[in-house]
Amino acid sequence: MTPRVLARLAPLLALAAVALLAACGGSDGDATPVVTFEGTDGASLFAQACAGCHGEDLTGTDQGPPFLHAFYVPGHHGDAAFFLAAQRGVRSHHWNFGDMPPVEGITQEQVTAIVAFVREQQRAAGIE
């Protein structure tokens, strides 16, 4: 994709992005310390960065939606949506959990590993 096309799609993807990789919780104006996530294994990184809101088994919690759901298949929320969610945060749109803040301290390489893990778990659950 060209930079021009990406620039035009970015706002749409950001609005359509899922609440992934959340640091979960509301914004109360307090400065949140930046967390450093360890490793490059998708399952481990998901446990560190995402499971608190999206569930250890990707079935969601009272703070974030499940990723084992048709809303999050690649045809509805592509991989780029996950990257934008981690980088910019996401406005609440499919669920009523509130907005997701950006995930401070996570690298693009780590997000890549998490997305691969989520897609693997979706395939295993028959959600493609």
2 lies in some domain: no
Q: Which of 91, 41, 50, 80 is nearest to 68 (CA)?
A: 50
CB 116 within 8 A of CB 67: no
7 lies in some domain: no
Q: Give the tens place of pLDDT for each residue, 23-56.
A: 444 444 455 556 789 988 999 999 999 999 999 9
80 lies in some domain: yes
Domain tally for the chain? 1
90 lies in some domain: yes
74 lies in some domain: yes
- Residue span of the structural domain in which 94 resides: 15-23+34-124
- pTM of this structure: 0.71
Could you give the CA distance from residue 95 to residue 119 in angstroms, rounded to a whole number?
Answer: 20
* CATH number for position 75: 1.10.760.10
29 lies in some domain: no
For residues 8-22, give the mean pLDDT: 40
